[in-house]
A and B are shown apart, each in its own frame.
Chain A
Amino acid sequence: MTATLYIPCDSAAIACGAEEVLLAIQAEALARKIELKIIRNGSRGMLWLEPMIEVATPEGRIAYGPVAPEDVATLFAADFLNGGKNHPLCIGRPEDVPYLKNQERLTFARCGITDPTDIEDYIAHDGYRGLKAAAHMSGEAIVTAVTESGLRGRGGAGFPTGIKWKTVLGLDAQQKYIVCNADEGDSGTFADRMIMEGDPFLLIEGMTIAGLAVGATKGFVYIRSEYPIAYAQMEKAIVAANRAGYLGPNVAGSGKAFDLELRLGAGAYICGEETSLLESLEGKRGMVRAKPPLPAIKGLFGQPTVINNVLSFVAVPTILDKGATFYKDFGMGRSRGTMPLQLAGNVKHGGLIEKAFGITLRQVIEDFGGGTASGKPIRAVQVGGPLGAYFPQSLLDTPLDYEAMAAAKGMLGHGGIVVFDDSVDMAMQARFAMEFCAVESCGKCTPCRIGSTRGVEVIDRIREGQNRQKNMELLADLCDTMLDGSLCALGGLTPFPVQSAVRHFPEDFNRPAGHRAAAE
């Protein structure tokens, strides 16, 4: 009998030793003369359990994790190939783990279950149903469905996706483009990476539907160079989709053409900003463009362009398959549908949590995350990447939706949540925000280019105790200038983490200089 094993090819699993475990399992199986069928699936998103290995059994898949090469011999001894439960690493059926059970997975429904680059497997698990529906609809009807679903840009700005698409649909042009922003540079985010590594056809499907909707025949995916595995998986999936007729001159029998190309970034955070990304795609320095004109009107090579985040595109197939109303029924207020949240940092159970909008920060961190990894109390939580605000304990009951986050002077961004325990020095975090902006600024506008460097200097003076009162005022003033005067979100949002640190943790900016030196 051949046993079927699932060993993730997800970056996080590999970084935690999945390849070494795979080799150990193969060696042990060879010694025991057992034949194995090994499928490299994506990750289920329970990252503290990686590498998590699953075995197909008559009662479903049984998981073990986190597996180290040293555990392999005892796993075989415990008959794990038949789902043996008598092993300390046995988790049982992954679907029964509360972490997964309590989620509402629409976008990530398949991730970790299928063989990511096997198109047959994708279709067998309800893949391409959205595109098949869209292939027989008019562009207007597709755009209407996306508009009615209430889907908003998942990259951070939260702009209604349907309205963006409608603008491009309404324009006459020789060539229109679909561009996917997969330059996921925010610290604490990894949902784009997980979906590209674990379910790449979903992104291809979403972008193809966008192409049919607005009449674009060409798409680009701009992937950051820090994600080599995601790039390789996407490359394989595009070849398979072309071969099966889901990309190319006649997409899914619609009579319409759509082609997809990959482009690799080169380590510039700013290229996650949409206009900078377009410049980079054109082969130039990633300098931010002034808006207007909007990319929808004059985007890539001056042509009308739909540019969306990975998480926006991958939400679309569900909407076309199950209907706008189905999707809209999740969520709260003006934030509809589900959001793939990414819980990371100093937390016991980090991973991917897809929930309808409206869950509170505390529910995510305590119910799913199980508190800090260090066991110390939570002091601060940064939401929305390096440009997102820090939240103190007292604000952890803020619901995660676009409006509620904005009201708390923060932002949801790309859904990254990074937890810090009480050892964090918030003045140091504020300094890092400025330092990061200085390193990554494209240099086009002054508030961002110069303001960030001056910001680092001012915070250094405050930390050293020089003229503290005056320098705090100067810092506040500088933040206002950057907020109001920057061209794009990098300079315009860098003050968010700084101001929130000052507002919620003033004591960290008012410590004797000697105390700090001793602590470091």
Chain B
Amino acid sequence: MPILHALNDEFGYVDASAVPVIADELNLSRAEVHGVLTFYHDFRKEPAGRHVVKVCRAEACQSMAGRDLEEHIKRHLKVELGETTADKRITVEAVYCLGLCACAPSMMVDGKLHARMTPAKFDKIAKELR
């Protein structure tokens, strides 16, 4: 897993061509490495957009209109969760709890945390993402 994390961090995703190399190095079958790669939500199989927005879908955020925020983001960027905008600018993903439940709803943009979100705050942040 530390190897996959390193690749994912470096390239933004884990290319399929890396699987046989890792398998060979660790004396595992390709199937085993592929299995690990596809099990975890964090590892990407293809490059993401230039920016990644992770929006929290868990209960505490729901209680503070997290669902409205999610709908707003999807409408605003014209994507579904897990998709990238046509201009490859922003990828939107779901995350289940960022641990900021007392200042909900929350999201993470390129690793930076934002809490007490509103659709207006999102528009402001999105405008700065190029």
Contact = CB atoms under 8 A, between A and B. Distances in A.
A377 interface: no
B43 A266 contact: yes
Contacts of A226: 95, 97-99, 108
Interface in A172-214: 184-190, 193
Contacts of A350: 101-103
Interface stretch (A9-17, A291-299, A355-363, A486-494): A9-17
B113 A342 contact: no
Contacts of B58: 187-188, 386, 436
B113 A284 contact: no
A266 B41 contact: yes
B40 A15 contact: no
B14 to A, nearest CB: 11
A188 B101 contact: yes
Interface in A342-367: 342-347, 350-351
Contact of B101 (A265, A342, A439): A342
A195 to B, nearest CB: 12
Given A266-B4, A266-B42, A418 B101 contact: yes
Contacts of B98: 11, 15, 226
A420 interface: yes
A337 interface: no
Contact of A286 (B32, B40, B116): B40
Nearest to B95: A226
Given A266-B4, A386-B59, A418-B63, A285 B103 contact: no
Nearest to A433: B59
A373 B103 CA distance: 11
A267 B40 contact: yes
A184 to B, nearest CB: 7
Contacts of A251: none
Contacts of B36: 283-285
A440 B116 CA distance: 26
A186 B40 contact: no
B63 A266 contact: no
A190 B113 contact: no
Given A12-B115, A15-B114, A286-B39, A346 B63 contact: yes
A429 interface: yes
A228 interface: yes
A330 interface: no
Contacts of B42: 225, 265-267
Interface in A62-99: none
A263 interface: yes
A189 B99 contact: yes
A342 B102 CA distance: 8
Given A266-B43, A268-B40, A345-B64, A187 B1 contact: no
A57 B14 CA distance: 52
Contacts of A190: 99-102
Interface residues of A, number: 55
A188 B60 contact: yes
A419 B102 CA distance: 10
B99 A285 contact: no
A41 interface: no
B96 A50 contact: no
A189 B59 CA distance: 11
A187 B113 contact: no
A50 B111 contact: no
Nearest to A386: B59
Nearest to B8: A266
A265 B36 CA distance: 12
B60 A418 contact: yes
A121 B51 CA distance: 39
Given A344-B104, A345-B59, A187 B114 contact: no
Given A187-B58, A228-B111, A264 B2 contact: yes
Most chain A CB within 10 A, of B2, B39, B40, B102, is at B102
Contacts of A15: 98, 100, 103, 106, 113-115
Contacts of B104: 344-345
A264 B5 contact: yes
B62 interface: yes
Most chain B CB within 10 A, of A265, A267, A286, is at A267
A280 B102 CA distance: 29
Contact of A267 (B95, B103, B106): B95
Contact of A268 (B35, B41, B60): B41
B102 A48 contact: yes
Contacts of A345: 59-60, 63-64, 101, 104
Contacts of A439: 96
B96 A188 contact: no
A228 B5 CA distance: 13
Contacts of A48: 102-103
A420 B64 CA distance: 8
B89 to A, nearest CB: 23
Contacts of A436: 58, 96
Contacts of A266: 1, 4-5, 40-43
A190 B4 CA distance: 27
Contacts of B60: 187-188, 344-345, 416, 418
Interface of A: 11-12, 14-16, 47-48, 50, 184-190, 193, 225-228, 263-269, 280, 283-286, 342-347, 350-351, 373, 382, 386, 416, 418-421, 424, 429, 432, 436, 439-440, 442
22 contacts: A11-B113, A15-B98, A15-B106, A16-B116, A187-B59, A190-B99, A193-B99, A226-B98, A263-B1, A266-B1, A269-B96, A285-B35, A342-B102, A344-B60, A345-B104, A350-B103, A386-B58, A386-B59, A418-B59, A418-B101, A429-B59, A432-B59
Given A267-B95, A420-B62, 17 more contacts: A15-B98, A15-B103, A16-B116, A47-B102, A48-B102, A48-B103, A188-B97, A226-B97, A228-B111, A266-B41, A268-B40, A342-B102, A345-B101, A346-B64, A416-B60, A418-B59, A429-B62
